Amino acid sequence: MQNNPHETPERAEADGQTHFGFQTVPELNKAGRVAEVFHSVASRYDVMNDLMSLGLHRVWKAFTIGRAQVRPGMRVLDIAGGTGDLAAAFARRAGPDGEVWLTDINDSMLRVGRDRMLDRGLVLPVAVCDAEHLPYPDGYFDRVSVAFGLRNMTHKSAALAEMHRVLKPGGKLLVLEFSRVTPALSKPYDWYSFNILPRLGKFVAHDESSYRYLAESIRMHPDQRTLASMMEAAGLSRVQYFNLAAGVVALHEGIRLDA
């Protein structure tokens, strides 16, 4: 098993360095490295999600959709939306008078998501954009979501601040992300992550290294309480989180209260 070198997620933000999995890389290089990962896996992304999670990712997303409480006429921004699962569900709930944007920094993932939605008869606005520099006005959206994307962002605090900025007062941010499992499961989870995931990546997606990065990036992501504190520091209120599958995944949510 590959071991975490015990760097903390906040460790290498100084001196222009950050983490890419267990590696320390220049901040300017991380976005490109992450882009290579998702360009590589885009065509097999959904199949791998089903295999890796035994289909549970669909349950986690359904829980997020329920907590979002999107209503007809709402404006919703799905960040790092990839293949469009959340955006499609939000669009059905927002209805013809609503406005749901599917965005991703990776154009390969976004093309897969756009094509999947067209196959479902959904035509949504899509945009390639960086979550740290969102091209939307202040206070525009009723809901902002990001699922399994925050951990790949170079400056998470800056991205969270942008998500807060584009929310309307009373709007809700939902962050669905891999998190810290309960201690009783940590050893079997590590074994699965560093032995099974890369092998699945090798034989199904033909890319072992990207799925090794996935396992490492999860370990470098802030734990539940740290992420909740980061959301509060970004200006969000009533922050709470829900552990799913014993903390394999957590849904964080927070409200923008200021006008």
How far apart are the C-alpha atoms of 193 and 162, rounded to whole Å?
31
Note down pLDDT in tens along the chain; length 259 residues.
Answer: 334 443 444 444 556 888 767 877 788 777 777 777 777 777 677 788 888 898 999 999 999 999 999 999 999 999 999 889 999 999 999 999 999 999 999 888 888 889 888 988 899 999 999 999 999 999 999 999 999 999 999 999 999 999 999 999 999 999 999 999 999 999 999 999 999 988 988 888 788 888 898 899 999 999 999 999 999 999 999 999 999 999 999 999 999 998 6
Q: Which DSSP string corresponds to 44-93?
A: GHHHHHHHHHTTHHHHHHHHHHHHH---TT-EEEEET-TT-HHHHHHHHH
Buried b (16+ CB within 10 A) or exposed e, 164-192: bbbbbeebbbbbbbbbbbeeeeeeebbee
Q: What is the structure's pLDDT at 216?
A: 92
Break the chain down into helix, strand, coil percent, rounded to 5: 50, 20, 30
Tell me what pLDDT residue 207 has: 82
192 Cβ neighbours under 8 A, 6+ residues apart: none
- Label residues 202-215 b or e (16+ Cβ within 10 Å = b): eeebebeebbbbbb
Q: What's the fold here for domain 11-255?
A: Rossmann fold (3.40.50)
Q: Write the CA distances from 7 to 95, 106, 200, 214, 222, integer angstroms.
A: 45, 27, 26, 16, 11
What residues pair up with 251 in beta bridges, in sequence order? 176, 242
pLDDT attached to residue 5: 40
- In this prediction, residue 14 carries a pLDDT of 53
pLDDT the model gives residue 259: 67
Structure tokens belonging to residue 113 = 């998501």
